[in-house]
Structure 1
Amino acid sequence: MNGKYVEPRFTREVAEEVVAWTNRLADRSDESPICEWTPEGYVLLFTADRPFEPSEVVQPDDKGLYALGFGWAWQAEEVEQ
């Protein structure tokens, strides 16, 4: 934990769901980042202010977990699947 904030970390399987969920939100709002998987298994995050250059590259840590969503406001949101 970092002060009042946490940096959630996910297995690859769950990270794939988070990426898919984030992209569904991006379809509805220009404020949500867009995520892409690379062939090497990294997650690239693109934001509206930098649409052609990743603002973040997420690699799995030594336990194979992906730190996604630091600084995001986590809340319950219904998204059609």
Structure 2
Amino acid sequence: MDNILAGNPLLNITEPGSSSSNGGDFKVKRRWDDDVVFKNCAKGIDERKKEAHFINDAIRSEFHRKFMDKYIK
């Protein structure tokens, strides 16, 4: 049990004077894509595909559904 607790740097309970309690050698690793320029380019592509879909029926169209939700319900 002591080996498990000592292996985790977040649960490592040591003496107050040691460097581990001050956070001396513990670093949080960054993800490889944290500094990417175009991080969220593909975000929302699925929503755009749904909006661009054409339905040749006035009652089943997205405009009609939004209109009914806004003014009738």
Instruction: With the length of structure 2 as denominator, give the TM-score of the two structures.
Output: 0.28
Whose radius of gyration is greater, 1 or 2?
2
Tell me which protein shows more helix as a share of its residues: 2
Q: Which is bigger in relative contact order (C-alpha 8 A, separation at least 6)?
A: 1
Tell me which protein shows more strand as a share of its residues: 1
